Structure 1
Amino acid sequence: MHALIAIQQQLLPDLLVVMRKRYLILRQVMLSDMIGRRSLAASLDMTERVLRAETDFLKSQDLLIIDAGGMRISEAGKRLLEEMEPFYKAMFGLSELEEKIRRHFGLKQVVIVSGDSDESPVTRRELGRAGCSVLRKDMKDNDVIAVTGGSTLAQMAGQLTSQAPLKNNLFVPARGGLGESLDYQANTIASTMAKRTGAQYRLLHVPDHLGEEAYTSLMQEPNVREIVEVIRRSRIVVHGIGDAMVMARRRRVDATVAEAMQAEGALAESFGYYFDRNGAVVHKMLTAGLRLEDIMETEVVIAIAGGRSKGEAIAAVMRFGHDDVLVTDEAAALEIASIIDKESAQQG
C-alpha cells in the first residue's frame, strides 16, 4: 500500500488532494448525523461553491443523501469510509506515526484520528468514536469495565453501541465523583455506557478525594467496601489524561499542595495520580476506587486523550508504562513524536 501511495503522490498528486477532500466531507457529514451546506462549508473551511460541486458528485455516487433538511451519509457512504480509513492513514502518514509512538512506549496499539481536539468538536467526536471501537474489540463476556470521568470519556460514552446486549458485562466508575458537571462524572459515564450497550452498572456515591479519617470511615461501610472491591477487580480500565495543574484546580486541591506538586514537576493527571514528565508519581489523592497497584495488575488499560495542549501530559502517562492502548488525535501525536525525537537527539 505504501509503495502505491508513493507512486500516486509522484504521478497523480491532484488525485490524492481530491480524495482527501471527499473523504473529509463524508466523514464530517457522518459525524454530524445531519448538516446543512453552509455549516459543512464553514467546518471544512471550504467555499460553498466548491462544496456544492463535491457534494453533488458524492450524491450522484449514492454516498450522500441530500434533501430539504440537509445532508446525511448513506449506508454505502459509511461502508466506503470504513474501507478507506487504513488507506487514508497510510496516505497522510498517520500509520507511521501510530507505529512510532507504539514502539517507543511499548504499547500494544496506538490509534490516531486526524485533527486537533483542542480546536475541533468533530475531532473530539471522532476521538470518542475511535475509543468506542477499541473498547468493543477488547470487551469479552462477563467483563467488569472501570471508567474515569472527563469530557473525552463523556464523548465516548455518548457514542458507544453494541450489536447485541451485553447483559453479563458490568460498567463501574473508577473512582468517586469529581464534584464538577454531572455529565463528566465517572458515575454518569459508567451508567451511560451500560444503558447504551444493554449492560449492567454499579455506582460509587462518594467524593472524589477524601481525608484519611473520612476514607477510613467510608471503607468500613459494607456497601461502599463491596463496590470498591468490584471496581478493583476490573479487567478493563478506560481513562482520560489531563494537565496536572488544570485538574488540580478542578479538584479544588489546596493551593499549598498544588504549589508543592508544581515544584516537584507534576505535568499530567490520570485516575487521581499526578505524574512528572518521566512518568513518576509525584502526588496521589486518597480515594475510594482504583489504586495505582490495581492499574498495574489490570489486564487491559486504554487511554483516550487528544489535543495539542495535552501532548506532553499524554507522553508522561505513557512513560508510567502500564497502558496497553492509546487513542489520540493527530495534533497530540505530532507533539508526542516531537518529544520522542528530542529525546533521541539528546541520547545520540
Structure 2
Amino acid sequence: MRKIIELQQQLMPDLTDVMKKRYNILQQVKQSDFIGRRMLAASLSMTERVLRAETDFLKAQGLLEIQPSGMRISDAGKQLLDEMEPMVKELFGLSDLEERIRRYFGLKQVWVVPGDSDTSLHTKRELGRAGCHALRKYMGTDDVVAVTGGTTLAQVANQLTSQAPLKGIRFVPARGGLGESVDYQANTIVSTMAKRTGAQYRLLHVPDHLGEEAYLSLMQEPNIREIVEVIRSARIVLHGIGDAMVMARRRKVDEAMVHAMKDEGALAEAFGFYFDRQGAVVHRMPTAGLRLEDIQAAEVVIAIAGGKSKAEAIAAVMRFGHDDVLVTDEAAALAIAEQFENE
C-alpha cells in the first residue's frame, strides 16, 4: 500500500490532494452528524464555492445526503471512511512522523491524527477518538485508570464505548478540581467514562490547589485517604498537557509564584507538575491526587494533547521520560519534529 501511495504522489500529486480534501469533508460531516454548508466551509477553512463543487461530487457518488438545511454522510460514505482508515496515515504522511517522534522520545507508541486542534473542533474530536483507541489497547480487565481533566480528555470521555460492560475497571480522577467548568473536571470525565462503558468509578471532592496545612488536614480524613490510596494505585494514567502559565492561572496560583515559576523556566504542565524545556520538574504543589512517584510507578502513562501552540509543552513533558504513549495531532507533531531536528 505504501509503495502505491508513493507512486501516486510522484505521478499524480494533485490527485492525492483531492483525496485528502474529500476525505476531510466526509470526516467532518460524519463527526457533525448534520451540518450546513457555511459552517462546514468555515470548519475546513474552505470557500463555499469550492466546497459546493466538492459536496456536489460526493453527493453524486452517493456518499453525502444533501438537503436545503444541511447535509449528512450516507451509509456508503461511512463505509468508505472505514475502508480508507488503514491507508489514511500513509496518505497524510503521518506514519513516518509517528515513528520519528516515537524513536526520539523512546515511547512505546505514537498516534498522530490529521489537522490542528487549535483551529479545528473536528481534529480535537479525532484526537479524542484516537485517545479512546489508545486506552482500549492498553487497558486490562481489572485496572485502575487515573484521568486528569481538560477539554481534550472530555472528548475522550464522550467517545469512549465498550461492547461489553467493563465491570472490573475503575476510573478515578488523578487530582482534585480546578473550580472551573464542571464539564471539564476530572470527576465529571471519569463519571462519563464509567457510565459509557459500564465500569466503576470513584470521585475526589477536594480542590486541586492545596496549602500544606490544608493538605495535611485532609489526609487525616479516612474517606479521603481511602480514595487517594486507590488513585495512587493506578496502573494506567491518562492525562492532558497544558501551557505552564495558563494552567498556573487556572489553578489561581498567586502572582509571586507565577513569576518565580517563569524565572525557573516552567514551560509545560501535566498532572499538576510544572516542567521546563528539558523535562525537569521545576515546581510541584501538595495534592491529594497522584504524586510524582505514582506517575513513575504506573505501568502505562498515556498523554493526549494537540495543537501547534502546545508543541513545546508536549515535547517538554515527553522529555520527562515517564510517558509510554503519545496521542497528538499533525500540527503539534510537525512542530515537535522541527524542534528536535533543529537541536
TM-score range relative to shorter protein: over 0.9
Q: Identify the range of structure 1 (37-46 vs 301-310) with the bigger mean alpha-carbon deviation.
A: 37-46
CA distance in 2, matches of 1:70, 1:86: 29
Range with bigger deviation, 240-249 or 153-162:
153-162
1:203 has 2:209 as partner:
no
Distance 2:257 2:235 in 1: 33
1:69 CA drift (Å):
5.0
Aligned to 1:346: none
Q: What does residue 37 of structure 2 align with? A: 37
Letter of the 1:20 counterpart: K
When residues 93 and 285 of structure 1 are mapped into structure 2, their CA distance, relative to the original with a 3 A threshold, is same
8 Å Cα contact 2:20/2:91 also seen in 1: no
2:80 and 2:69 mapped to 1: Cα distance? 23
Which moved further from structure 2: 52-61 or 271-280?
52-61
**TM alignment of 1:163-312, pairs within 5 A:** 163-312=163-312
Whole-Å separation in 1 of the counterparts to 2:168 and 2:99: 34
Q: 3-state SS of the aligned residue for 1:158?
A: helix
Residue identity matched to 1:331 = A
Equivalent residues of 2:92, 2:114 under 8 A apart: no
Q: Which amino acid aligns with 1:91?
A: L
Structure 1 residues 301 and 79, CA gap change in structure 2 (3 angstroms): farther
Residue in structure 2 matched with residue 99 of structure 1 by the alignment: 99
Partner Cα separation in structure 1 for residue 154 and residue 115 of structure 2: 19
1:204-226 alpha-carbon deviations (Å, 9 max, x no partner): 00110211221111111111011
Aligned to 2:262, the other structure's residue is in SS state helix
Give, as a single letter, the amino acid of the residue that structure 2 aligns with 1:302: I
Question: Distance between the aligned counterparts of 1:167 and 1:68, measured in 2?
Answer: 45
Q: Deviations over 1:54-107 (max 9, x none)?
A: 334333444323345532223432332233234222123211111110000011
- Identify the residue that residue 146 of structure 1 maps to in structure 2: 146
Give the residue type in structure 1 aligned to 2:159.
Answer: Q
Tell me the alpha carbon deviations over residues 145-182 of structure 1, each in whole angstroms, 9 at most, x when there is no partner: 11001111112212212222212211110011112111
Q: Distance in 2 between matches of 1:182 and 1:298?
A: 27
Distance 1:225 1:319, change over 3 A: same
**What residue number does 1:130 align with?**
130
Q: What are the equivalent positions in structure 2 for 1:310-325 lying under 5 Å apart?
A: 310-325=310-325
Residues of 2 paired with 1:63 and 1:162: CA distance?
A: 28
Pairing 1:26–2:29 present: no
The offset of 1:10, in angstroms, is 2.2
Cα pair distance change 1:44/1:300, threshold 3 Å: same
Q: 2:44, 2:120 within 8 Å by CA — same for their partners in 1?
A: no
Aligned to 1:327: 327
Render the CA deviation track for 1:124-163: whole Å, top value 9, x for unaligned.
1111111112112222212211100111111221221222
Per-residue deviation, 1:120? 1.5
What do you get for the CA RMSD once the two structures are aligned?
1.6
Task: Indicate the larger mover: 235-244 or 164-173.
Answer: 164-173
| Overall identity of the aligned pairs, in % | 76
CA deviation after TM superposition for structure 1 residue 42, in Å: 2.8
Q: TM-score, normalised by structure 2?
A: 0.95
Change (3 A) 1:58 1:143: same
3-state DSSP of counterpart to 2:159: coil
1:84 match:
84
The 10-residue stretch of structure 1 (4-13 or 244-253) with the greater mean CA deviation from structure 2: 4-13
Amino acid at match of 1:255: E
Distance 2:116 2:14 in 1: 25
Q: Which amino acid aligns with 2:152?
A: T
Rounded to whole Å, the distance in 1 between the matches of 2:78 and 2:337 is 31
The one-letter code of the counterpart of 2:138 is D
Query: Letter of the aligned partner of 2:41 in structure 1?
Result: A
Counterpart of 1:221 in structure 2: which amino acid?
Answer: E
Call closer, same or farther: CA 1:143–1:74 in 2, change over 3 Å: farther
* CA distance in structure 1 between the partners assigned to 2:29 and 2:73 by the alignment: 6
**Distance in 1 separating the partners of 2:330 and 2:250:** 26
Partner of 1:65: 65
Q: Deviations along 1:264-310, whole A, 9 cap, x unmatched?
A: 11110000100111111111010001111011111111101111111
Q: In 1, distance between residues paired with 2:102 and 2:291?
A: 25
Whole-angstrom CA distance in 1 between matches of 2:251 and 2:149: 12
Q: Which runs of 5+ in 1 are unaligned?
A: 344-348
Aligned residues: 343
Matching residue of 2:52: 52
Deviates further, 73-82 or 286-295: 73-82
Q: Deviations over 1:171-205 (max 9, x none)?
A: 11001111211111111111111111121111000
Kept in 1, the 8 Å contact 2:20–2:92? The answer is no
